Amino acid sequence: MDCRIAHELPGRIRLKCRKGHAFAKDEAGVIESLLEAQDGVLDVTASHVTGSILVLYEPDARGGRNREKLLAAVAMIDGYLENESLPAKYREPGIVSGTCALFAQSVFNRLLPMPVRVAINAARFLPFLLRGLKSLASGKLDVSVLDASAIGASIILGDVGTASTIMTLLTFGELLEGWTKERSKRKLAEGLALSCDSLWVERDGVQTEIPASDVKAGCDVVIRIGAVIPVDGTVVRGEASVNQSVMTGESLPVHRYPGTSVYAGTLVEEGELLVRVTAFDRGTRVSRIAMMIDDSVALKANIHGRAERLADAVVPYSFILAGAVFLATGRLRKAVSALLVDYSCAIKLSTPLAILSAMREGARLGIVAKGGRILEKIAEADTVVFDKTGTLSVASPSVAKVIPFGGWTREQVLRTSACLEEHFPHSIARAVVKKAEEEDLKHSEEHAEVEYAVAHGIASVIGGSRAIIGSEHFVLEDEKIPVSAEEAAAIGALPSNQSLLYLAVGGRLAGVLCIEDPLRDEAKEVVTRLREEGIRRIGMLTGDNERSASYAASALGMDFYRSSMLPEQKTEYIKNLHATGAKVLMVGDGINDSPALGASDVGIAMKESADIAREVSDVVITMGDLKSVLTARRLASGVMRRVYGNYVFIVAINSALLALGLGEVITPSASALLHNVSTIGASVMSMMPVLRGRDSGQRDD
């Protein structure tokens, strides 16, 4: 393959196909598979869009042999791609080709002369032996020691067939786990990888193209219409509509202008920007998210940790049983039967596969969990707490009415409110700005730098007067803005299902905006079904006013609610729930929800959530439907039932095999075969979808 090295670091190399030598989409998988098969290669990502291949490999201190072998393999790729006889199923990375090769090798070995078979199996046994010795050297008597002992004893007894069968099935189990893990990682991190080999930068008014490796913080990068922004930075010139859905979940593009921030992975749909770089490549937010997702797959659920501990804990008893059988009968072959059947292998393999498969299934359903341990916590939760605005209510509230006071006109109130609110990505702020735009009210900045008080409101200076906008608590109580009897009566007559946004300028109330924030259509059904799923208490904590909160809580049948809550009050309430023994799942979307999301046993951020809420949460919903919370609960409960069901199956089947082996009803070879077949069976079942049809949270047709 005709490639050049576009960028290289120790253990990391990016290759770029020369013009006219790019590869097709269906060839990307072949390239990844071929290169990943090379010694020392850790990971390969081939992009047909950019014609680049990113390879992570183990740096070899002995003259860079891994690098040389990698480049040699790249040069040979064209020959593989031109092989039209290659079956389609081998042209995609997967488990089929590896499984076929593994079992074909096992069958072929049985046709060889016995001395050759013994030599081959002795060589295959060496990695298992080394793992077992390593565990013993560290003072552990675990599954690795048991596997090595069972295989070694079979070889010593001359039962090469049994030894070969054990090693083949154990290798297949490792292959199965590795394949599932990689598929899960790719699914979870899908769409987050960026590929960029060169960028246009502006220096002293002159635009030049430079290699991506030369880009540093402080460079001014030119981003044109239709381009994916490859850096994190601040806009220094130009205006554009930027699609930030990959970062914030916003369905509509946002307006970016000088002084605002942009993030790598977002798309310029209209306009052109000059962006001063603050982070590039692995330092960008999208790269950190990708790495976080990648790392999260390695996080083991508590149930996974218990499974491993249980698996290792039963190993000594297997040796004790084998020793007792040998002392009682004096027959080594019969004692080996106790080593060939154990509970640990199946427990240790099936549990992580079940967790990883459930995480992959969740990602497909729009539920990204940051680690397997989160699934167990979701299943254990007995209390669910919702935020209101943007969570139980729709993600795009609207301004229903604008009421002016103090000599202000309706248009002045709306224009000024939009001018202040346009700086912040909360759903209510977007509603105000959208209403002003619909009425063609220009709201260009006429104020000094704004101050944002989390969950309170916004303060600035307009025309020399202090302007504030926010909740009743912020404007009337904290800022001590007076309200006349006539104004109070007008406010009191407003509908109870609408939220109120207060605007005050120069120490006087200028107006009130009525925000119509209807509850999501599915909210009532979700609350009802969560109770059916075992949730004992469901409540709502909101910064909204009492009457709006009361209306929502009554309509949804909440067990409890609190209104006009500050972030620290939400957090304190969650801690108080913990003090009563509750296991709390919190669902929110705003900056003000972030502390409470972090304090909960499980924090779930909605699709339209603020960035910080998504970062501190344990689960991010990407579908935008509140039913995803119900789906997450069903998925977590289902996978936990599967894990414990596997325990029962594994204990039952292996106990039966152990009894049959000791009773000489079946041979050690048959015992080992059936044991490993049951292990593979449990593992395959662990990979099956947990949810089907109605259980996936989808609407009934």
According to DSSP, the residues that pair with 602 across neighbouring strands are 585
Q: Which residues pair with 621 in a beta bridge?
A: 367
Per the structure block, which two tokens stand in for 663?
């009773």
Is there a contact between 220 and 275 (Cβ–Cβ < 8 Å)? yes
C-alpha span between 70 and 34 (Å, rounded): 10
Q: Would you tell me how many other CB atoms lie within 10 Å of the CB of residue 118?
A: 15
Name which of 631, 647, 596, 590 is nearest 613 in CA terms.
Answer: 590
* CB-based contact 545:472 (threshold 8 Å): yes
- Residue type (1 letter), 399: V
3 within 8 A of 35, measured Cβ to Cβ: no
User: What DSSP line would sit under 165-193, residue for residue?
Assistant: HHHHHHHHHHHHHHHHHHHHHHHHTTT--
> What CA–CA distances, in Å, run from 677 to 304, 463, 588?
22, 79, 45
The H or E element that residue 669 is part of is helix 668-686
Q: Which of 142, 232, 342, 387 is catalytic?
A: 387
For residue 160 the two structure tokens come to: 């090469």
| Contact present, 238 and 272 (Cβ < 8 Å) | yes
- The structure tokens listed for 251 are 């369905």
- Three-class SS of residue 311? helix
For residues 640 and 379, the answer to whether their CB atoms sit within 8 Å is yes
Round to whole Å and give the CA distance between 73 and 31: 10
Instruction: Clarify whether 387 is annotated catalytic.
Output: yes
Write the Ramachandran bin of 309: left for phi over 0, alpha for psi from -120 to 50, otherwise beta: alpha
- Tell me the C-alpha distance between 124 and 10, whole Å: 32
- Which residue spans within 474-520 are E strands per DSSP? 498-505, 508-516
Buried b (16+ CB within 10 A) or exposed e, 271-308: bebbbebbbbeeebbbbbbbeebeebbeebbebbebbb
How far is it, in rounded angstroms, from Cα 528 to Cα 558?
10
Helix H or strand E encompassing 422: none
CA-based radius of gyration for the chain? 31
Distance of CA 52 to the CA centre of its chain: 25
Helix residue ranges, H only, 251-331: 285-296, 302-313, 315-329
Report residue 632: phi and psi, to 5°: -60, -40
Beta bridge partners, 55, equal 13, 44
Question: How far, in Å, are 23, 55, 196 from residue 18 at the CA level?
Answer: 11, 17, 15
End-to-end CA distance of the chain: 51
DSSP-derived 3-state class of residue 278: strand
For residue 20, give Cα distances in angstroms to 17, 24, 504. 8, 12, 63
Compute the distance between CA of residue 335 and CA of residue 321 in angstroms, rounded to an integer: 8
Q: Which helix (H) or strand (E) holds 5?
A: strand 3-9
What is the number of alpha carbons within 13 Å of residue 313 lying toward its C-beta? 7
Give the span between the Cα atoms of 294 and 469, in whole angstroms: 41
For 542, the token pair is 């909101």
Burial 53-81 (b: 16+ CB within 10 A, else e): bbbebeebeeeeebbebbeebbeebeebb
Indicate which residues carry an active-site annotation: 387
